[in-house]
């Protein structure tokens, strides 16, 4: 009786081993035959994908857009000798190195306020030559209802005459009298009407060897903002 029990247990054990081997073999074949696309994870419903839209670029690289009915502007002074100034208006560069119309001295762009179209651009060297007078004429010839943008590059003061400073001061500049050798200066003026008091119109920075970003020149400075299109006076 004991012998028969042992024999029966041996047969059961052998059957278990055989079943295990068959199951392993069958699993191996199925894993080979079934494509990866049928894995359990891929049979589950797709998870919803969240896409973050890229930030929309604003006019003149503003952080936030101007309200409808406003002009966007941004003015950047030059930095050292190599970094040229920029004047941007309604997302168009009026003065820039790329356009080849920026240079040493005082850079000026005149815009028709009513149409938003550029009327004239020029730069006046205040280190070599005598261009203070021509610059004053250029400003005085700007039509009424004009926006006048002015930025310095390199040096804008050495040959700047008093009558030119007076003409710029009459446009509303308070810092023109403080312009020094290699000062960085940006100024927005309106001829024939007044700009709102709450927008940026002027900024200045002076050369200081203990603080200068460049060797002998201060860092660039900028102003930007929005100009209402419906100003009447």
What's the confidence (pLDDT) of residue 41? Answer: 56
The larger pLDDT score, comparing residue 23 to residue 40, is at 23
Rounded to two decimals, the pTM is: 0.77
Q: Which pLDDT does position 55 carry in this prediction?
A: 66
CA distance readout (Å), 117 to 13, 194, 207? 96, 19, 34
Q: Extract the tokens encoding 208.
A: 């200081």
Averaged pLDDT score across all residues of the chain: 88
Q: How far apart are CA 187 and CA 199, in angstroms?
A: 12
User: Domain-by-domain residue ranges, the chain?
Assistant: 1-33, 59-228
pLDDT in tens, 62-104: 999 999 999 999 999 999 999 999 999 999 999 999 999 999 9
pLDDT at 217 over 60: yes
Percent of the chain scoring above 70 in pLDDT: 76
Pick the closest to residue 204 from 227, 216, 187 (CA basis): 187
Question: Which tokens is 50 given?
Answer: 């969240």
Q: State yes or no: pLDDT of 37 exceeds 50.
A: no
The pLDDT of residue 122: 98
Angle at the Cα of 127 from the Cα atoms of 60 and 100, rounded to 5 degrees: 35
For the stretch 105-157, pLDDT in tens is 999 999 999 999 999 999 999 999 999 999 999 999 999 999 999 999 999 99
Smallest CA-to-CA distance from 223 within 184, 194, 190, 177 is with 184
105, 123 in Cβ contact below 8 A? yes
pLDDT computed for residue 56 by the predictor? 77
């Amino acid at each position: 009786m004991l012998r028969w029990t042992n024999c029966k247990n041996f047969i059961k054990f052998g059957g278990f081993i055989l079943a295990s081997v068959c199951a392993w073999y069958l699993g191996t074949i199925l894993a080979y035959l079934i494509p990866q696309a049928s894995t359990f994870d891929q049979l589950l419903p797709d998870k919803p994908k969240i896409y973050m839209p890229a930030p929309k670029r604003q006019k003149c690289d503003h952080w936030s857009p101007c309200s409808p009915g406003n002009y966007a502007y941004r003015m950047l002074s030059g930095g050292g000798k190599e970094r040229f100034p920029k004047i941007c208006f309604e997302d168009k560069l009026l003065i820039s190195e790329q356009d080849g119309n920026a240079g040493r001295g005082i850079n000026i762009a005149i815009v028709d306020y009513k149409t938003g179209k550029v009327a004239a651009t020029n730069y006046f060297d205040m280190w070599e030559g005598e261009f203070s007078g021509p610059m004053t004429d250029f400003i005085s010839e700007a039509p009424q209802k004009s926006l006048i943008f002015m930025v310095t590059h390199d040096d804008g003061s050495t040959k700047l005459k008093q009558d030119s400073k007076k003409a710029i001061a009459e446009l509303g500049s308070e810092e023109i009298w403080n312009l020094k050798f290699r000062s960085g200066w940006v100024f927005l003026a309106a001829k024939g009407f007044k700009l709102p008091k709450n927008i940026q119109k002027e900024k200045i920075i002076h050369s200081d060897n203990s603080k200068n970003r460049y060797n002998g020149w201060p860092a660039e400075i900028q102003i930007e903002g929005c100009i209402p299109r419906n100003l009447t006076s």
